[in-house]
Amino acid sequence: MTWVLAMTFIFAGFLTPLSAAPSSSSAGVLLVANKGDQTLGLVDPDSGRQVATIVEGGFTGHEVVASLDGKKAFVPIYGNSGVGMTGTDGSTIAVIDLGEHKLIHTVDFGHGVRPHCAVFGPKDGLLYVTTELDKSVAVIDPQSLKIVGSVPTGQAESHMLAISPDGRKGYTANVGPGTVSVLDLTGRKTLTVIPVAGHIQRISLSPDGHWAFTSDTEKPRLAVINTATNKVDRWITLPGTGYGTAPTPDGKWLLVAIPSTNEVAAVNVPTMRVVRTIKVPPSPQEVLVRPDGMVAYVSCSASHQIAAIEINDWSVKLIEAGRGADGLAWAK
């Protein structure tokens, strides 16, 4: 199966047929949470093909993270609703063997918590997972697969999580309250809560940990939080209301998904300005920059595709994924 360009989307000069592979992937597999199919997809980034799908257990996972050794994937099972909406309350995390392509274990919280975003601590190797209904972040030992603690966020709808490069602090985007909680991951306590806007989504940190970025979903702007002062330092004007963000490893670029205009905005971080936009298929959600910094992957849930953006020339190639493609992760 070759890479295929959906003929319904023609963005002159930006999207090209996937007849050639993107830049070398430096060995790795792209993981995608296909919400509509309730599967985890495995994508070969060189051929541009989803080469396998793994059933998550009959429930819906929105996000995914790979273990540090690249052998397992952890998929929090959120439920069948969106954040702040009525629906089922997920209570488990699916643990998937990426070599065997099968579900091998389930971490059970024992009650509905709507687990969502999973992130590995860069220093302690523990797995941190947002548990919205408990207003906390759960701490899991990835070896024993036991829940070993929790960190309160002090806010409802703590949906997404980013961890500082030194592993000491966590930052949650609290959607409905429009705030960001700053967490002491070692002391397992809330340090402060930063008011941002009426409603926000997603969060990422600059590679040096100096800036935190989160999107105002009611106005076309991106909040830039100074992590030294724990205050909104400035706003970046966007072409539409933003969603997921991700920086390049060199700290030069921040890619922002803009679902309202079906674009990705490239922010030049030194100037804090949008310098270009890249057209992508409908409903871009999550942005993942490959560890080598050469390609950014953007899940486009409405078209069931992933847009692969070459950072060097901003060209776009499309990868067919599953229904409701959303969360992305890289497995080494």
Q: What is the pLDDT of residues 6-30, one digit of tens each?
A: 333 333 333 333 333 334 455 899 9
Query: Phi then psi for 13, rounded to 5 degrees?
Result: 80, -5
Q: Are 266 and 275 in contact (CB under 8 A)?
A: yes
Q: What is the distance between the alpha carbons of residues 232 and 211, in angstroms, rounded to a whole number? A: 10
Residue 221 lies in a domain: yes
CATH number at residue 171: 2.130.10.10
Burial class (CB in 10 A: 0-12, 13-18, 19+), 73: buried
pLDDT of 190 higher than 80: yes
Which alpha helices (DSSP H) does the chain contain, by range? none
Instruction: Confirm whether 231 is domain-assigned.
Output: yes
The C-alpha atoms of residue 173 and residue 156 are separated, in whole angstroms, by: 10
% of the chain beyond a pLDDT of 90 = 90
pLDDT per residue over 265-320, tens digit each? 999 999 999 999 999 999 999 999 999 999 999 999 999 999 999 999 999 999 99
Exposed / middle / buried, residue 30 (Cβ in 10 Å: 0-12, 13-18, 19+) = buried
Domain count, the chain: 1
Buried b (16+ CB within 10 A) or exposed e, 127-154: bbbbbbbbbbbbbbebeebebeebbebb
Q: Classify residue 22: in a domain, yes or no.
A: no
Residue 89: which pLDDT band, with cuts at 50, 70 and 90? very high
If you average pLDDT over residues 207-233, what whole number do you get? 98
pLDDT, tens only, 148-165: 999 999 999 999 999 999
In a domain, 14, yes or no: no
Range of the domain at 203: 29-275
Residue 69 token pair: 């050794």
Q: Tell how strand 158-163 and strand 263-268 pair up.
A: unpaired
Q: CB–CB of 42/51 below 8 Å?
A: yes
Query: How much is the average pLDDT of 113-140?
Result: 98
Tokens 């007849």 correspond to 19
**Separation between Cα atoms, residue 325 and residue 40, nearest integer Å:** 9
| Domain contains 321 | no
| The pLDDT of residue 17 | 34
Does the residue 259 lie in any domain?
yes
Question: For residue 17, is it within any domain?
Answer: no
In a domain, 183, yes or no: yes
